[in-house]
Structure 1
């Protein structure tokens, strides 16, 4: 019962923080909508797409980038949640949380669950707006994409947690976010298929192919069209476990004490 109580309290705290920061909701939607409605119009002619899985016919560029923009929302929110952890640590509330008589991994998982749930709500809001502009997916795709969004959100949230555990000051985190978010996003299949990248540079193609965010986007893309991409599922699961283990190690209180003494 104490585990569930802590879980509910942490998730409720994330929800209240989100409710009191309405501009965060708008900011999370403005970025992908700008790409969808503005940049896509310019890239449509330059990035004509052939028939690639999971699509059964030729598609517009706007249709192609929708899964990538869903990933963008998860990525930015994962980093935003990690930023709040750095703030909590400076204020002292994070230290109080980690001293609770519960496993550290459970506390961090509760934080991840709350942040991921909020991200998923924002993704569905974005998909609803996209549908108003005629960019739709199969009806059941809105259901089958939920597990993919949850797993991708956990992976990106765990990455943010791992980064926040090694950053001591709030001012430094914004710079680190830029060095993580933009390379992960642009060196992926979010905005263009990998075969397009291979035409310009094999090296960049290989970097995109091992980028966990690429596989998160492809997992979402296939799920939206009622298909499972096993390799993407495996890669995202392994990345989630690796980032989660790194975050747990980074938030080890004993390691923090040793660092301070040193």
Structure 2
């Protein structure tokens, strides 16, 4: 057991050291959601009023509505950036060395996910602290209750990033694939607009948003921030995590995925 914990400590510690030495990564993770919160939301406030919908008990401003979606945006971008570093490690040879250790692949990949998800949680709460400075706040205990949801969402989106990194051969191709995944997932979700508003515009768009796993990361965080439980969102996030995790294990299988292509 101590050997397994040593592996966990080493991989998570490496992730935190990389994060500490890449301060621009922390700043870039905050700039994107703050631009949406302080600029776009201010412009959309009059046009996009939000009515009383769960978990809210009264009418809310548009800025308040999009905060959970912007938290999920941070998780999504950090999951992709962590996977980008995996592609880099693969090209440098360190990933091959890691996967040839005597520990099972699922444990090595899980340790990597835990490390990147922990960093994502720190980034999300730094964003929430800045939002509070602009008087955009949630119930105090909601910040505590949302920690498991934020962490689980980080694991799910990190697992998606692992899937992408296992099938991308070259570092320069990853940026294009990231954009192809990130922006459709973000815009075709409940991050910026309630699903009922989507339904007013297009039933097809509503159905696509309802099938998007990212929507349920947003809703899980949203409900937990207001001390409510969304069982449907939790099941979707857990199920998506298992699917993405299984796909990542397949992709990093030496007999089928990464190692076979590199040999």
**What band does the TM-score fall into relative to the shorter chain?**
over 0.9
Counterpart of 1:169 in structure 2 is 170
**CA distance 1:219–1:176, change in 2 (3 Å):** same
Shift in Å at residue 9 of structure 1? 0.2
CA displacement, residues 173-222 of structure 1 (integer Å, 9 cap, x when unaligned): 10000000000000000001001111111000000001000000000000
**CA distance 1:92–1:139, change in 2 (3 Å):** same
1:140 match: secondary structure: helix
Structure 1: how far apart are the matches of 2:260 and 2:49?
55
Shift in Å at residue 45 of structure 1? 1.1
CA displacement, residues 138-171 of structure 1 (integer Å, 9 cap, x when unaligned): 0100100000001100000000001100000001
Counterpart of 1:191 in structure 2 is 192
Structure 2: how far apart are the matches of 1:147 and 1:159?
18
Shift in Å at residue 260 of structure 1? 5.5
Counterpart of 1:127 in structure 2 is 128
Mapping of 1:150-169 within 5 angstroms?
150-169=151-170
Structure 2: how far apart are the matches of 1:44 and 1:209?
24
Structure 2: how far apart are the matches of 1:217 and 1:255?
34
Are residue 9 (structure 1) and residue 10 (structure 2) matched?
Answer: yes
Counterpart of 1:38 in structure 2 is 39
Counterpart of 1:214 in structure 2 is 215
2:113 match: secondary structure: helix
Structure 1: how far apart are the matches of 2:261 and 2:117?
31
Counterpart of 2:105 in structure 1 is 104
TM-score (norm 2): 0.98
Mapping of 1:247-258 within 5 angstroms?
247-256=248-257, 257-258=259-260
Structure 1 segments unaligned to the other structure (5+ residues) = none
1:40 match: secondary structure: helix
2:154 match: secondary structure: helix
**CA distance 1:113–1:58, change in 2 (3 Å):** same
**CA distance 1:132–1:80, change in 2 (3 Å):** same
1:67 match: secondary structure: helix
Counterpart of 2:141 in structure 1 is 140
Give the paired residue count: 261
Structure 2: how far apart are the matches of 1:123 and 1:31?
12
Structure 1: how far apart are the matches of 2:44 and 2:73?
18
Structure 1: how far apart are the matches of 2:133 and 2:87?
37
TM-score (norm 1): 0.98
1:45 match: secondary structure: coil
